[in-house]
Structures are given as structure tokens and as C-alpha cells.
Structure 1
Amino acid sequence: MLPDDLVMETCLLAGEIMLRSGGETYRVETTMAMIAQSAGMESVHSFVTPTSIIFSYRSGERSLTRMIRIPERTIDLNKVTMVNQVSRSVVSGGMAIQEAYRRLQEIDQEKRQYPNWLQNLAAGVASGSFAVLQGGSGYDLLPTAIAGLCVNISSGYFQQILRIKFFAEFMSAFLGGLIVYCFCLLFPVLHLNLMIIGAMIPLFPGLAVTNSLRDLMAGDLIAGISRGVEALLTALAVAVATALILSFGR
């Protein structure tokens, strides 16, 4: 692999990991540009959206341009932090580009910092606690935690089957609401409205909204609007599922 091609592969891999792991658009562009410029590349330009990366630079008389697609995204801010550390090491001269590429490959292959069972358990605890914080009783805690746990587990499962995020989130929200509704039928003392709100906590697009606002303020209008629409669709899926469940109790 030619040195120029290695720089391109390193930059694209760094950007892909960050974007796929929930990194902001401006952070992806800055990281790729810093790595390329530290390797001596000129006229470095990038165009990043939530689903694609276009990157180009000039090395002597040779110009390189590449584009990659990012079909799936998740949230793993630990990987974003590790890629940032690699880019800082490259810029400071403490890591060669070959070593940086190998390290990025290792980061890409690493499993998530927290196992799935722990993430699902945390989602359940957050759901139950939120219902209580909103004014629910202690009786609402466990049923809402169970519903939130099921929502978090089913979200990934439905997305693998349906391949359309909106419908996967709708099905997960509907399942969580249905579990809460069944608990309320069995135990009328429970608070249906508060429990439904708590059960939907794992689906709330907090990071998408934050990144959307950050991209818009930074001037990345396409990326900001795209993330905002993505968050809006998630909220719409949750709202429709919730409305259906509440209509059962009329």
C-alpha cells in the first residue's frame, strides 16, 4: 500500500468508527483533517453526513478522493474517545501512521465496553426510576423496569429483522406499552401514564437531538437537519405506539 493510500485508509477508518459510534459531524471532519495534515497532505477537504463520508486531499501532484457509506449507527462513546486519543498521538508525533492504522483496526474490532446484559439492566433501572421520579409510587418501579428492559432488548432484535429503524422502534415501543398496560389490568393501583413514559426512556433520541443542535450551530446544516429528522421519526414512532396503547384503556 502506497503511503498516500495508507493515510487515506487511516483517515477514513477513523471517521467511520467515530460516525458509526455516535460522534458529532464536526468532530469526525476535524479528526480526519488533523491526521491527514500531520502526514503532510495538502488541500484536505471532507464532507460528512450521518450516513456517508467524502474525503479528499492532494499529495504532491497526486489527488485522492474516496467516499464510504455508513449504513448502521449505534452509541459507543468509548470508541469515539479512543479514536480521539489516536489522532492526538499522530498529530503530536508520538505515533506513526502505520501504527495508528493498526490501532484503529483494533479499536474497530473491539467489543463494546459494557456487555449487552448490563446495558439492558441499566435501561430497566432507568425506566423504573424515571416513572417514580415523575410522581409514580414504589409499586410502579418494578413493572416499568421490566417494560423498559424488554423495550431495550427488542429494539435491537426488531431492527435486525425489519431493517427499517422507524418500524423497529414502533414495535419496541408498542411492546413496552403493552407490557405496562397488562400490568395495569392486573394491578389497578398502578399509574398507566407514568409507567408508559418510563418504559419509553430507552428509545428517547437524546444523543441524536444533541448532535443535531451541535451540528446546526457549527454550520453543518445537512448533517444537523438529517439528525433532527432522525430524532423526529423516533419520537413519532414512540408517540404513535403510546397513543395506540392509551386508546385501549378508553
Structure 2
Amino acid sequence: MTHSVERQDTAIQNQVLATCLLAGRIMIEGGSEMYRVEDTMRRIAVNAGEPQTLVFTTPTGIFASIENQPYIQERPISKRSIDMEKVTRVNQLSRSFAADQIDLDELHAALIKLDQNTPFFPIWLQVVSAAVVSMTLMVLFAQQYDWIDMPLAAAVGALGFLVDIKVNAVTNIRFISELLGALVVGLTAWLGVRLGL
């Protein structure tokens, strides 16, 4: 009977750690700050009845264990981007769990669903958004509304973002795609200035 209870406790602890690590991985991959990730993971553990959970996060991996237990779980972080919608959704699920609106199994299932179903905007809308952001950043850096340079800034930003997307689809190495996108932005802006545009 004692072994059965211990196995059940271990299974629950494993489920708590797995849920914490999944929430943490989604948040880190979505661009959340490390202290927020650790805070959310600890809150999930405390609300699941494991207040002695130890959490350690890095940009490339997360670790969690329960104090005085002989095992630790870790998850690698394979990609990073900016997806505040996912981060916000993890926080909402964590709050629902804390308010006893969902149980641990439902939280884990909802996190798996969130992780697998990432809504993306169409590429054309992302490119248009990059153009708009580039215009607003030009106004911010120039500290004036230069109506002549705004279309060039929009075109340069959109082109650089499009190169980044296309190269990333081919190489899947983020550094190379960002480097080439930045190179296109710099060269296109320089060319526009040289041509008097």
C-alpha cells in the first residue's frame, strides 16, 4: 500500500513538473522574460500543491525539480521568437488554474493544444506590418515627419523582412536569415540615399 501511494505521489509530481516545463518552454519560445517564466512556473507548482518546486531557466533550456526529491526534469529551448499572444494565453491558463476553474490535467492539455496550434498572420500582412513599423521607426529616429522618406523606409523594411522570411524558410538558421535581411535593409537604404530618393 505504501509503494502504491508513493508511486501515485511520484506520478503527480511528474505531472506538475511536466506542466510547469511546458508552460515555461512556451513562454520562453514566445519571447517572455526569464523572471516571468520562473514566476509562472512556480505559481503553477504552488497551486498544484508542490510549493517546494525549484525552477531554473536559461535562454537554451529550463530545469525543474521538487526539493528533496531524487530527480530533475529539463526541456531544451530549440527556437525563440516574439509571440506575446502565446505568452498571454499561458498566463491566462495559469490564472484559471489558480482560481480552480481548471484542474492540472486540463491545464496540461490546454498548454499542449496552445503549443501545437500557433495562429500566424498571412505573410503579406506580416510584410505590410513590417513596412508600417519601418515608417514609424524612421519618424522616431529622425524626430520629424519626413513625408518624402517615409515610403522609402516602408519599402526598405518590407523588403528586408521578406528576405528574412524567405532565407529562414530555406536555411532554418535564424542568424543567417537575420544577417541577410539586415544586409538588404542597409544596402537598399544606402542605394535609395545615393540615388536621391
Aligned position for 1:202? none
Contact 1:120 1:152 in 2 (8 A): yes
Aligned position for 1:24? 33
Aligned position for 1:157? 166
Q: Deviations over 1:30-87 (max 9, x none)?
A: 11111112212242111111111011115xx854311111121000111111101111
CA apart distance, 1:152: 1.7
Matched, 1:49 2:49: no
Tell me the SS of whatever aligns to 1:138.
coil
CA apart distance, 1:142: 1.5
Amino acid at match of 1:163: I
Aligned position for 1:75? 82
Amino acid at match of 2:125: L
Aligned position for 1:176? 185
Amino acid at match of 1:72: K
Tell me the SS of whatever aligns to 1:93.
coil
Q: Given the two structures, how large is their TM-score scaled by the length of structure 2?
A: 0.82
Which structure is higher in RCO with an 8 Å CA cutoff and minimum separation 6?
Answer: 1
Structure 1 residue ranges without an equivalent (≥5):
191-250
Amino acid at match of 1:179: T
Tell me the SS of whatever aligns to 2:40.
helix
Contact 1:48 1:54 in 2 (8 A): yes
Aligned position for 2:95? 88
CA distance in 2, matches of 1:123, 1:153: 9
Q: Deviations over 1:4-31 (max 9, x none)?
A: 2222221111000001001111111111
Tell me the SS of whatever aligns to 1:111.
coil
Match of 1:112 among 119, 130, 133: 119
CA distance in 2, matches of 1:20, 1:51: 10
Runs of 4+ in 1 over 4 A off after TM superposition: none
RMSD over aligned CA atoms reads 2.3
Aligned position for 1:247? none
CA apart distance, 1:140: 1.4
Larger displacement relative to structure 2 (174-183 or 83-92): 174-183
CA distance in 2, matches of 1:137, 1:33: 49
Aligned length: 185
Matched, 1:138 2:147: yes
Does the C-alpha gap of structure 1 residues 137 and 31 become closer, same or farther in structure 2, counting only changes over 3 Å?
closer
1:99-248 to structure 2, matched below 5 A, reads: 99-112=106-119, 114-132=121-139, 134=142, 135=144, 137-160=146-169, 161=171, 163=173, 165=175, 167-186=176-195, 188=196, 190=197
Q: Given the two structures, how large is their TM-score scaled by the length of structure 1?
A: 0.66
CA distance in 1, matches of 2:97, 2:137: 43
